[in-house]
């Protein structure tokens, strides 16, 4: 299969076949029935445009108390287990890594975006983050290890998988915008991004 690179980001276009994407969406619906999407706020009280949930031992949350990983959904329920199909993708793409302890589930509507940020609430940056895109296309921007400097962008499509490790693990990245109605995977449109992470 083709692998693209921008900077140190490794992009696997159309890694997940269409039929498997459908199965994955069903699995994720079951996860969200247990641990519903919530709209996080930043520590300063601004609502994020993305809605979030998680699976695994930990979920990433943000509210007035700050950014952090929590062992339970804000409702108090345990996060559901990470679906096996996702663990398989992780094992196939990053066989030497520890197993993921979190699958963050980000849901974008047509107006959602995510500002440039680093993933830095994990304890071990030697471990990769694997990102899976489902549904509408999104413009992914990648930058540098520090804020500022030149950036590059690429459209991520349904079924694309991005591996962030090495220098990419510390690089700023974000989603500028979603292209509504660019995929038929989700009947009501929108985009799901899954990021598998080792937390501890
Ligand atoms: C993230 O950085 O957490 C999400 C990236 C994406 O939505 O593709
Ligand atoms: Fe991120």
In order of 29, 141, 185, the CA distances from 116 in angstroms are 28, 8, 26
**What pLDDT digit, counting tens, does each position of 138-186 carry?**
999 999 999 999 999 999 999 999 999 999 999 999 999 999 999 999 9
Ligand 1 pocket mutation pick from 156, 173, 176, 190 by most atoms within 8 angstroms of CB: 173
Stated length of the chain: 200
d(CA 55, CA 31) in angstroms, rounded, equals: 7
In order of 23, 32, 33, the CA distances from 26 in angstroms are 5, 10, 11
pLDDT value at position 1?
A: 82
The token pair at 127 is: 């471990």
Residues of the chain short of pLDDT 50, as ranges, are none
Ligand 1 pocket mutation pick from 10, 15, 62, 114 by most atoms within 8 angstroms of CB: 114
Evaluate: CB of 158 within 6 angstroms of ligand 1.
no
Q: Is 10 helix (H, G, I), strand (E, B) or coil?
A: strand
Domains in the chain (CATH in brackets) are 4-36+81-197 (2.60.120.590)
pTM: 0.97
**Minimal-distance CA residue to ligand 1 atom 5:** 174
Evaluate: CB of 195 within 6 angstroms of ligand 1.
yes
d(CA 119, CA 143) in angstroms, rounded, equals: 13
Select from 193, 135, 146, 153 the least CA-distant residue to 18: 135
Beta bridge partners of 106: 52, 193
d(CA 106, CA 138) in angstroms, rounded, equals: 13
Q: What is the DSSP string of 72-124?
A: B-TTSPBPPPPPHHHHHHHHHH-TTSPPPSEEEEEEE-TT--EEEE----SS-
Strand ranges (E), the chain: 4-6, 9-12, 51-56, 59-63, 66-70, 102-108, 114-117, 129-135, 137-142, 152-156, 161-164, 173-179, 191-197
């Amino acid at each position: 299969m083709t692998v693209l690179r921008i900077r140190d980001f490794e992009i696997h276009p159309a890694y997940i076949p269409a039929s498997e994407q459908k199965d994955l969406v069903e699995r994720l619906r079951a996860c969200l029935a247990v641990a519903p999407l919530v709209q996080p706020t930043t520590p300063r009280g601004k609502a994020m445009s993305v809605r979030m949930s998680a699976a695994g031992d930990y979920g990433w949350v943000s509210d007035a108390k700050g950014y952090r990983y929590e062992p339970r959904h804000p409702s108090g329920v345990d996060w559901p287990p990470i679906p096996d199909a996702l663990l398989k993708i992780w094992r196939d793409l990053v066989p030497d890594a520890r197993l993921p302890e979190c699958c963050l589930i980000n849901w974008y509507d047509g107006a959602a975006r995510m500002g440039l940020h680093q993933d830095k609430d994990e304890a071990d940056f030697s471990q990769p983050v694997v990102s899976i895109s489902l549904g509408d296309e999104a413009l992914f921007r990648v930058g540098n290890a520090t804020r500022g400097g030149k950036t590059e962008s690429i459209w991520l499509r349904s079924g694309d998988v991005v591996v962030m490790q090495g220098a990419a693990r510390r690089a700023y990245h974000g989603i500028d915008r979603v292209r509504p109605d660019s995929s038929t995977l989700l009947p009501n449109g929108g985009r799901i991004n899954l990021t598998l992470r080792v937390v501890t």
